[in-house]
Amino acid sequence: MDYLLLQIMAGIAKGMNIFLLSAGFTIIYGVLRVVNLAHPSLYLMSGYFAFSITQVLGSKIGYWGALVLAPIFSAIIGMIVERVVFRTVYDKHHYMQLILGWGVMLILGDIMKLTWGVSPKSIPVPAILTGTIEVPGGSFPYTLIFAVMISALVGLGVYLLMYRSRLGTLIRALSYDEEATQALGVRVNLLWIFVFGFCSWLAGVGGTVASLFTSIRLGADQELVLICFIVVIVGGLGSTIGALVGSLIFGVVFSIGILVLPRYALVFMYVIMVIMLIIRPYGLFGKKIG
């Protein structure tokens, strides 16, 4: 029973990490109406970036440098992808975006394979984060606590940005009516690029933090695509709160699932998603977007 508590705590921590991934995805959809299948690829890519950066900077400041720099690289790549690929199809059928996103995912996946090779990578955990805390049921690693802290901090930052700043108001205006926002004199193009870059940065932070407790390997982006979709659909496309709730639900269900039926933990989540789509098609917090 205690072990169950530990698992659930770990699940919540990983869920908080997934929140960074899914928040970016859902904001891009909510504001820009774009489905970016390649978003999890940026999450994975920042893990690889973090690996290289820690190699270069050494073990003292390596990870902290990576935490700062890797998400920025992810953001840059995200913005490039947006400019080159998604620009032309943002008002077309969603299926075109899906296919384009999938193409980008394939390309980024192979670029990662080219650059970093096929063997999984891992990052040396900085000294301050090694160690565990004793909880009933076992020991809970500091890295997971760190993940929760970072996600909470960044989540707070996202809230402050979106609801307490002028920029956030403009972004929300953009999600309601792009033409009207443009008519106000706002440079919508720049806003677009910013949103894409910011969301890619979020994914980057998530990936860099995740590299502390998971190995960085090829193919993770494809698994994450499914997870990301499940999370945002359960939570509601377009809603950041939904992404948070969905991620937490995912974390808990998945960790319980691993205890019960290890290979099919994901199936539980699929079932939840199917049920959710049947009884509440737009997710817990989603709203029908045009």
29 conformational bin, left if phi > 0, alpha if psi -120 to 50, beta if neither: alpha
The pair of structure tokens assigned to 92 is 């077309």
Which residue in 99, 127, 152, 160 binds another protein (CB under 8 A)? 99
Query: Measured from the CB atom, is 1 or 278 closer to another protein?
Result: 278
First to last CA, the chain: 46
Question: Which range binds another protein by CB under 8 A, 139-147, 148-156, 192-200, 264-272?
Answer: 264-272
Closest CA to 9 of 128, 148, 132, 126: 148
Closest CA to 111 of 77, 143, 138, 142: 77
Shortest distance (Å) from residue 94 CB to another protein: 5
**3 is an interface residue for another protein by CB under 8 A:** no
> Does residue 269 contact residue 250 with C-beta atoms inside 8 Å?
yes
**264 is an interface residue for another protein by CB under 8 A:** yes
**277 is an interface residue for another protein by CB under 8 A:** yes
Query: Measured from the CB atom, is 10 or 34 closer to another protein?
Result: 34
| Size, binding site for another protein by CB under 8 A | 39
Return d(Cα 1, Cα 252) in angstroms, integer.
Answer: 15
Which residue in 2, 274, 280, 287 binds another protein (CB under 8 A)? 274
The pair of structure tokens assigned to 61 is 């400041």
Return d(Cα 258, Cα 254) in angstroms, integer.
Answer: 6
**98 is an interface residue for another protein by CB under 8 A:** yes
The pair of structure tokens assigned to 122 is 């891992």
Which residue in 23, 75, 77, 100 binds another protein (CB under 8 A)? 100
The pair of structure tokens assigned to 107 is 């390309």
> Does residue 247 contact residue 227 with C-beta atoms inside 8 Å?
no
* Contacts with 255 (C-beta within 8 Å, 6 or more apart), sequence order: 7, 8, 10, 11, 14, 265
Q: Which residue has the tokens 């504001």?
A: 31
Which residue in 4, 61, 83, 110 binds another protein (CB under 8 A)? 110
**114 is an interface residue for another protein by CB under 8 A:** yes
Shortest distance (Å) from residue 89 CB to another protein: 7
Return d(Cα 289, Cα 152) in angstroms, integer.
Answer: 27
Question: Which range binds another protein by CB under 8 A, 148-156, 180-188, 203-211, 275-283?
Answer: 275-283
Q: Between 31 and 50, how does the x/- string for binding to another protein read (CB under 8 A)?
A: ----x---------------
Site for another protein in 221-250 (CB under 8 A): 222, 226, 229-230, 233, 237
Please classify residue 216 by burial: count the beta carbons closer than 10 Å to its beta carbon, then call 0-12 exposed, 13-18 middle and 19+ buried. Answer: buried
For 156-187, b where at least 16 C-beta lie within 10 A, e where not — what string?
Answer: eebeeebeeeeeeebbebbbeebeebeeeebe
**278 is an interface residue for another protein by CB under 8 A:** yes
Shortest distance (Å) from residue 132 CB to another protein: 33
Query: Measured from the CB atom, is 126 or 242 closer to another protein?
Result: 242
Shortest distance (Å) from residue 93 CB to another protein: 8
Binding residues for another protein (CB under 8 A): 35, 85, 88-89, 93-96, 98-100, 102-107, 109-111, 113-114, 222, 226, 229-230, 233, 237, 263-264, 266-267, 270-271, 273-274, 277-278, 281
